[in-house]
Amino acid sequence: MPAEHDPDAALMLRVKQGDTHAFAELVDKYKQPVTNVAARMLRDPTEAEDLAQNVFIQVYKSAPRYEVASKFSTWLFTIVRNLCLNEIRRRSRHPADSMDTAHPEQEDQPLHQFEDKKTFSPPDSLLQGELEQKIEQVLAELPENQRTAIVLCRQNELSYEEIAEVLGCSLSATKSLIHRGRETLKQKLKPYLRTGAWSEPK
């Protein structure tokens, strides 16, 4: 994509020339979405901010070699995903199994299913904070590739083609990942969805 159609790529080209103001502009614009994606990929909001900082440091170090081969946001979220995967792999060297290990027979399901031992009272008694926690919990239980696909899908900056590029798979595979992840979410959140607990108050 030509730089003139992507203002962020144009900013990045200025960073390449040593413009730190352009770099600060990019950081300000993307710090929130980058942190959101990192937090959901790592399932750790605390670590996510450190990783997000490392993402931008990596962006700055890569500036001399930067070429406008794709949209800036695609390139940026590819860095986010790679650093998150490195961190997940580093953690998986810990003796405990990685939470991202897929079930050998059902690749849609993680190896470890963490049973929700809470007994939820009828949805209309749930506070908004508890509901959000439930969504976060169920999202965190998805396999990494499905989770990442769904989280990136919520980022308005990326089209399906760009999400596929970040994930390193085809467009159809990307949509399949999103579909399967969403089916799992719908199944696990069924009690709340059925009663319409999330419909906008009238």
Please state the closest distance from residue 105 (CB atom) to other proteins, in A.
25
DSSP string, 71-121: -HHHHHHHHHHHHHHHHHHHHHTSSSPPTTPBPSS-TTSBSS-------PP
Q: Does 191 bind other proteins (CB under 8 A)?
A: no
Helix axis angle for 72-92 and 7-16, nearest 10°, is 70
- Of 148, 174, 176, 144, residue with least CA distance to 161: 174
Tokens of 183: 């089916």
Which one of 9, 52, 164, 177 is in contact with other proteins (CB under 8 A)? 52
Site for other proteins in 22-51 (CB under 8 A): 23-24, 27-28, 31-32, 35-36, 39, 45, 48-49
Tell me which residues touch other proteins (CB under 8 A): 20, 23-24, 27-28, 31-32, 35-36, 39, 45, 48-49, 52-53, 56-57, 60-61, 128, 131-132, 135-136, 139, 150, 153-154, 156, 159-160, 175, 178, 182, 185-186, 189, 192-193, 196, 198-200
